[in-house]
Amino acid sequence: MKKLFQFSILFLIAIIASSQDYSEKDSLQNLISKEKKVNEIIGLYNEFAWAIIDNEPALAKEYLKKSITMAKSVRDFENLANAYNKMGIIEKLSGNYNKALEYYNLALESLDNTDDESERGMVYNNMGNVYKSKGDYAKALDYLLKALKVAEKINENESIADALLNIGLLYDDLGKDSLAMQNLQKSLDIAKNLNNKMQIARAMQNMANIYSDGDELSKKKALEYYFKALDINIEISVLSGQATCLNNIGAVYYDLGDWKKAEEYYLKSFKIKEQLGDRRGKAIISENLAFVEQQKKNYKKAGEFLNYSMIMADSISDAKFKIELMLSVAENYFYMGDYKSASKMQTVLFNYKDSIFNSEMTGQISEMQTKYETEKKEAQIQKKNLELEKKDVENRNQRIIIYSVIAGLALLVLLLLIVFKMFRDKKIANAILSQQKEEITAQRDEIEAQRNLAAEQRDLISEQKQEITDSIHYAFRIQSAIIPEISVLNNVVADSFIFHVPRDIVSGDFYWIGEQDHKIIILAADCTGHGVPGAFMSMLGIAFLNEIVSKENITSPAEILNELRNKIVKALKQQGKSGEQKDGMDISVITIDPTHNHLQFSGANNPLYLIRNNDLVEIKGDKMPVAIHDKMESFVNHEMSINKGDNIYIFTDGFADQFGGPQGKKFKYKPFKELLVKNTHLPLTGQQALLKETFVNWKGTLDQVDDVLVIGVRI
């Protein structure tokens, strides 16, 4: 639970920016005051703006505006393009992506009047970065490859290194770590050959970002790269680079469980971001500090940091980041035990997503309607074109008749009548044709407008769908953080497995493992619903189970289910009224006492399978869920002795209910039992692999219908 800054670069920064100190700033001001030539003054304005762009962006913007005005007046297209490019960089750094693209396009228009391919490559690179920030990876890659092609054509090694680095960052965003590393390593090699410290720092920092997602050894490798990049950024006085390194170092220490160091580096990064006026950066670091406070159980302080992040997100109108923050706020309320506020925040988030889904559905309907109307009107146009051709043929035939009649003087009177009639018919036909042409033109314009509208709606749906997917991935990280690692079960029961396959990104099935009074408690649960709703129910269940077992010292499966049901009913305010939503859980719970070879079991709609000497014994659970129900009796506690070599299984209904096979039918419980008995001699890890293979082969190309969870334990 952290956020890294990715050091995506703007091409020109590698050449001049941030490496210039204030003595150079003073020298440029002196040169400007002494220079008399207009073109030279424009160039000095651009250089001066670049020297201060990292620390004084507002002042840099004023000098660039002067440069643009002067360059236009003397038609200095090279300096004009350079000024537009730098203005685009300032807008990009401020998060104004559409404004940045406007300036970059103006730069390209100016470059059409020059032979400056180097500047063109820089603009292509910067446009690629903006499209990457907007999430349009296809356009981003197109412009970055254009930049690389230009750099290779003019043999500019620094520009080649910058383009390769940005392409590496794009592949990193797409989750293609191998391609990302290849491009970043190429960029680093070129930078080392050129002794370009800025470029070396950028490449090392972004390679560290990829290492930070690996195991503990990889994270230590990431720290090594981050500290080297930090030293270089300090040496060349690049504040934004220092802030990025400090935040990412804090994020790695967070992953390693060193909250104190994580907090120390986050605060250092925040101080620099505040100095730079970077609102998005402050919002991200504030959320990271909230995560640290959560680890220290200081949920109130975490809430303060999250509220500050929410204010910053609103100020930059970042809907995607705001959705992530809403999930973090809801999680913090869960940790505080404020389930009412958590539920309220959850409702706000769901309503927001529902509005997006409604927008998507409206767009799809509109697109289908537009397609229908377009096809209909195209058919009408084709029909009218055929009628026009037919009319044209008829007119030609009529003219032939007229000429023939004129040739026959004996039929002069008849000819005059025919000519008069033809003239009148032709006039009417021409009027009809003129009207039809006007209708065709109007219909063609209307079709074009509808096509443009359909394209805009399609693009909007794509963007909103991506934001929803990103939010669900973030919810997955939250759920993964609170569900115990599978290794926890292996630590308490050496020969065991957990086979867990969510239907969606997040799961409504969850498991829980705990130890209390030398007893091992294992639970498999199936919550109402799939996806995000099911995931929130699972988080609620885990929070209650931690309280029931760890704080209230309850180890009896039946008592655990009774107490969990009471808390669920109370938290969800269930009263058993007609039509009321009956959210709840189906659960199997076992408590193993290894000291006395004793097992306890209780189930809510779900059973337990015990296999001993190739014989399967099924112990059924009570026919009622952990929720409000017509039947609200106490759950039955089953007790039995266990022997070495006994295999015990608890599970949800996802495996047996999966459709598949040659006839597309459910797998069902009888074949499931036979599968377990037939392979009971295998080690538990082998059984897990067999279950996975069987499930995948049975499902085939059909969709998964439910979350799947099977837990196996060998005594």
Examine the pLDDT at 647 and tell me if it is beyond 90: yes
SS (H, E, C) 518-550: CEEEEEEEEECCCHHHHHHHHHHHHHHHHHHHH
SS (H, E, C) 662-696: CCCEECCHHHHHHHHHHCCCCCHHHHHHHHHHHHH
Contact between 713 and 647 (Cβ < 8 Å)? yes
Q: Tell me the sheet residues that pair with 604.
A: 587, 622
Q: Pseudo-torsion of CA 243, 244, 249, 250, nearest 10°? A: 70
Q: Cα separation of 131 and 373, whole Å?
A: 33
Q: Cα separation of 624 and 248, whole Å?
A: 49
Q: Cα separation of 396 and 408, whole Å?
A: 19
CA distances from 215 to 218, 220, 221, 252 (A): 5, 9, 10, 11
Cα 335-309-169 angle, rounded to 5 deg: 105
Q: Kindly indicate the confidence band of residue 437, based on its pLDDT and cuts at 50, 70 and 90.
A: confident
pTM to 2 decimals? Answer: 0.45
Q: Cα separation of 710 and 526, whole Å?
A: 11
Burial tier of 73 (Cβ tally within 10 Å: 0-12, 13-18, 19+): exposed
**Consecutive H or E run containing 641:** strand 638-641
Q: What's the average model confidence in pLDDT over 138-152?
A: 94
Give residue limits of the domains in the chain.
384-482, 487-714
Residue 432 CA from chain centroid, whole number: 56
Examine the pLDDT at 35 and tell me if it is beyond 70: no
pLDDT of residue 303: 92
Beta strands in 420-567 (DSSP E): 496-501, 509-516, 519-527
Q: Cα separation of 368 and 292, whole Å?
A: 49
Examine the pLDDT at 15 and tell me if it is beyond 70: no
pLDDT of residue 9: 45
Q: Which of 350, 330, 352 is nearest to 339 (CA)?
A: 330
**Consecutive H or E run containing 708:** strand 708-714
Q: Cα separation of 74 and 282, whole Å?
A: 42
pLDDT of residue 569: 93
Q: Which of the given ranges, 219-223, 467-471, 535-539, has the highest pLDDT on average?
A: 219-223
Q: What's the average model confidence in pLDDT over 381-400?
A: 63
Per residue in 228-255, pLDDT tens? 999 999 999 999 899 999 999 999 999 9
Q: Which of 55, 112, 62 is nearest to 83 (CA)?
A: 62
Q: Cα separation of 585 and 565, whole Å?
A: 9
Q: Which of 492, 565, 506, 526 is nearest to 655 (CA)?
A: 526
Question: What CATH architecture does domain 487-714 belong to?
Answer: 4-Layer Sandwich (3.60)
Q: Cα separation of 467 and 589, whole Å?
A: 38
Upper half-sphere CA count for residue 324 (Cβ side, 13 Å): 19
Q: Kindly indicate the confidence band of residue 16, based on its pLDDT and cuts at 50, 70 and 90.
A: very low
Q: Kindly indicate the confidence band of residue 339, based on its pLDDT and cuts at 50, 70 and 90.
A: confident
Q: Kindly indicate the confidence band of residue 476, based on its pLDDT and cuts at 50, 70 and 90.
A: low
Phi, psi of 506 (to 5 degrees): -105, 160
Q: Which of 93, 95, 91, 88 is nearest to 109 (CA)?
A: 88
Within 8 A by CB and 6+ apart from 519, the residues are 555, 591, 592, 593
Examine the pLDDT at 394 and tell me if it is beyond 80: no
Q: Which of 328, 682, 680 is nearest to 475 (CA)?
A: 328
- The residue ranking higher by pLDDT, 364 or 138, is 138
Q: In what order do the strands lie in the sheet with 509-516?
A: 509-516, 519-527, 585-593, 598-604, 638-641
Examine the pLDDT at 665 and tell me if it is beyond 60: yes
pLDDT of residue 577: 79
Q: Which of 45, 95, 38 is nearest to 65 (CA)?
A: 45
Across 49-63, 166-180, 238-252, 390-404, least confident range: 390-404
